[in-house]
Every structure is written in structure tokens, then in C-alpha cells.
Structure 1
Amino acid sequence: MQAREEAAKSFDPEAIAPLLLAWYDTNARRLPWRRLPGEERQDPYRVWLSEVMLQQTTVAAVGPYYSKFTEVWPTVGDLAAADDADVMAAWAGLGYYARARNLLACARAVAARGGNFPDTEAGLRELPGLGEYTAAAVAAIAFGRRAVVVDANVERVVARLFAIDEPLPAGKAAIRFAAGQVTPEERAGDFAQGMMDLGATICTARSPRCMLCPLREGCRGYAQGSPERLPVKAAKKAKPVRTGRVYWVERDGKVLLVRRPGRGMLGGMRALPDDGWSAKGDGADALAGDWRAGGIVRHGFTHFDLELQLMLSVQPQAVSLPQGEWWPVETIEAAGLPTVFAKAARLVVAGRTD
């Protein structure tokens, strides 16, 4: 063990990039939004779109959404000209809906400057909704700029390579600094994608496949014998549970849908009426009428869990209704409801077919 640790400590960090790039040239994952090593660089629009979609979301989940968006809106100009409601409906199910609002704002900002994305990290940071990670990823992958790209996969690889054991989130600064030490001047985009692929397929959160890793000899985490313990994460806090009510109001085979306010949770999305629940508190604004209970809808958000009592009213006679649109129940899946409301709709429909 000691010999392994000494070898890792003496390993030249500059050797990391050539080893990783050689591995990536052979093992790069084939993804809908990716150009493989040696191919022409990807369209910045598609790099940006995929990176926004991939935030807090898995590759498997993003694939169908990416395909739909690029089919309906093949250019950034097409997306900029799209109706907000159509984009929000197409995004439904991906979660973190502020990303969709930022997506539109950014597309319109790019369209306003002639449809061209800035080709530097600093320029990209000036666009709406582009944070440190996304700007670096687009600069490196789409434009070949040297940029330090650190997502969750890269974070894990680098923490293990350098045995950085400072708990997250405080340890992020040290991990980013270390990532900068191994990021090459040339092929920075391939290097970033190679690190992502290594983290996704070899240097996994659990049971890393160290014997297949091209960086094993220089990995201090491996040398210490327990790479899976890195990065060290702070203990999770118990999430609060919020409660509320969601209303299914049906007339003549159509259900009432409302449009949520532009700002706030699930902003701008079609939804079923509810009683005003939020991340900060339970629902309180009950909708007057003659209701019957239809079951409980449970959904987990990032910072809280939600339990909604589903309330049903079919052919209501005395219900004070909010303004909205009447949507055919038989095509409710096409309404683009956020997941929590789609769950409520499925609960109603399933109750009719059981």
C-alpha cells in the first residue's frame, strides 16, 4: 500500500490529459448531442441545449427531450421565436423549470445578436441563465477554448485523483483548482467529455471499476485503498414535508387547467388548480365547492417533499372556478403538465379503468 501511495504522489499531473484523451478516443460514449473525437465540432446551439437539459438530470432522461426540441426547434432562432407555452409544455417532466424559462431568455438574447453564441467563456457568462459550468462546457466543447469544466462526474474523478477529502460543498474550490491543473490547452472539449465519461462509466459513485481506469496509476484515492469514499459529502438534512390540495374539475369530458404565474415554482406551466402550496408552506386557499377525495399524490422536490390531497368534482354545479382552459381528458398526457400534476391526472384516469 505504501509503495502504491508513493507512486501516486510522484505521478506527473501533466500525464493525466494524454492518458485520458487516448482512452476517450476509443471509449467515447455515443450521445445524440455529441460529435466523436476527430469529427467536426458540434453546433453551439446543440451543445448549449444539451448542457442545460443535463443539469440535475440523467443522460437517459434527456435523450427524448433533446430529440424533440431539436426536431421542433432545430436552430436557436427557431427556439427564440417559439411560444413560451409550447416550450414549457415540451419541457414538462424534466423538472427544474426555471431552466426552461432561462432557455427561452438565452435563445432570444442570442437571436438578438444575430443568432451567434459568444465564442469565449467570459462572453457566454453574459448570456441569461449561463452559469460557470455551462459557459465553460460550451466554450470548450463547441469552440475548443481551454476552460475548466466541472460537473458531478468530473468532480468525483478529480476528488479521487487528488484524494481531496474536504467535505462538499466547501471542497468544491479545491476540486476546481485541481481540475485546472490537469486541463490541457489543446482538446479541452474532448478532455472535459472524457472526464465526464470516465465518471459515468468507470469512476462511478459506487463500486468504481478501478482496474479498467486509465488514470489508476496516478490516482491517490486508489492508492489509499478506498476511492469510493470520495468526494466526502456533508450529511443530508431531512427534507420538510409540505401538504396541500389539488383539484380535478371536469365538465363534459374536459378538465380545467390553469396557467401558473410566470415566476415561482413551476412558473408558466399548465397545471391543475391547487390551494397555493409552495416550498415554504402548506396550502391554504381552498377552492369552494362540493368535492370528494380522490387519493393522495406524492412528489419529491429538491428541498422538500409534497403530499397533495386530490379533490374531485365531475359536472360541478356550484364551484367557484378560476380562469383557465378546458382540456379533453382523453388527451391529458399531451397537456405538458409538470410531473406532480401529471401524477394527479394519472390517478384520476387509472381510477376509471381499474
Structure 2
Amino acid sequence: MSTTLNHSAPAAARPPAGRYRSTKVRRQRVRAAWTFLAPMLVALALVAGWPLIRTFYFSFTDASLSDLGRASFIGIENYLIYEDGRWYGVLADPIWWRSVWNTAYFAVVSVSLEVVFGVIVALILNAEFKGRTLVRAAVLIPWAIPTIVSAQMWAWMLNDQFGIINHLLMMVGIIDAPIAWTAEARYSMWAVIMVDVWKTTPFVALLVLAALQMLPKDCYEAAEVDGIHPLRVFFKVTLPLITPALMVAVIFRLLDALRVFDVIYVLTSNSTSTMSMSIYARQQLVEFQDVGYGSAASTLLFLIIALATVAYLYLGRKQLQLGGDA
């Protein structure tokens, strides 16, 4: 009896042939994937990884742009240090915290507006009407224009002396005198947000439109037969189905918004009312030639973006899991 059991145990423990082949194929696919990804990972390590490591290193030194070779290690003094009864460093600089607030405000407001307008534009472009192809091509023009070009174009149009925006608003009687949209603190941030929304809303609309094109028609036909209001169909059917595409659009736009530099720098330069974290770091690195201090600001910017990305992906995954359980 025991002999029979001893002979049968290895056979029972042996995995089925189909499962073994499946595991072997999976391992081959993983090896093939790493083989194809290896050149890209090496290039990414050289192009992005090495400069990032040097930035981390310089943030703990007193490096100067005039002579990087004579940098000395000073610990966390560029970040925060208490000396002579006062706090010094990036974390004690009120201008840095103002730039953090400006960047967060810009990111939240601009990305929110881009999502709303992007969904509206995508819904319009998804409808059947004459000349839809031309309209789709025209909508993508702002996104196709380089950011520097579009920012400079808007800087001319928003100019308080010869800008066409002031001219049109005065023609229709909305304002009585020209407004310095990019110079006055109460208008400059909203001017920057408006330009960014105009520039990148087509990107969100393109991703949402691609998701709308993939939706099944049966749900909408059934809703039309049942006489369900279109708004209810949108919030109960369309929006949940396009949520994955919206998440991709939001995370891409959020990353771009948190590291925004070009559009703000072209429109308002180093103004503290609109200064972003990237502009603050650039000012320390280039204008003040303090590589150590600027590298500390750049490192903090990297950590903030990384934490925001991880938090958003975690919350988005939880939301999708809750939606799937429901």
C-alpha cells in the first residue's frame, strides 16, 4: 500500500504538460521583451539617468557654474541649514514655496480645464456632421505648434500696447483701457493658464476621441430605445467607459504641468507671481550660477513630480478596482 503511494506521489506532483508549455512560452516572451527593451533602457540610463545622478550629487555640494571641478561636499546645506539664528536653504526660501504654490495652482487649474474642454471637443468631433475630417485636423493645429512659438504668438497678442486681444475687447466695450495681461500679477497667471489650455486641450481631446471610437454601439442603441436622457447616458455609460483614457491624459498632462517652464518663461519671464519650480531652478543654475543650490531645487522638483505620479496612479488603480467590484 505504501509502495503504491510512493510511486503515485511524484506523478501527482508533476505539473500537467499544457501548464509546463504555457510556463515555458511565458518565460520566452519575458526574455524576448527584455531583449527588445534593453537598448532603450541603456539609452535612457545614459541620457536621463546619468544627468539625474549628477544633479543629486551636485545638490550636496557648493558647485558653481564657473568651476564645477572645485565643488566641495557640504551635506544638506543647500536644502536646509540653521545658522546664526536663521534658517537657510531652498526649503527656507519663501520664493521657492511661492513657486511650488504657483506650479500646483497652474497644474490643477489648467489640467482640470483641459479635461473638461477636451471631453467636450471629443464628443463634438465624435458626432456625425459634414466636414468632420477638416474640423478634426483644424482642432489639432494648436497642439502641433511648438510651445515656444505659440507662447511668443500669444505674448504679442496679449501685449498692452499693440496686442489684438485688448483691441478686440475695447471694440466690443468689455474694457475701457488696455490691460497688461502678462505684467500685472492679478492677470498674469490666468493668462498663462489660458495659453496652456488653448495649446494642450487638443491632446486630451485626441485621446478621448480615440476612446469614444472604441465604445460599443449596442449600449447607446438600447438607451435610445428606452428613452434615457443623453446626459444620463453620458455620466452612467460613456464616462465610466472612457475613464482609462482620461487617466492616461491626466497623468501625461499633470507631469507636463508640474515641470512647466517654456510657456511661463516666454510670457512672464522671472516674475514671482507666475514663477514655477522649473523657472526657480533655472534662475539659480544659470543667472545666479549656483549649481549646488539649483540642483537642490531640481531634486526637490523631481521628488514632487515622482510623489504626485505615484499617488495619482495608486488612487486611479483603487478607483478602477472599486468600479470593477461594483
Larger proportion of strand: 1
Q: Same fold (TM over 0.5)?
A: no
Larger radius of gyration: 2
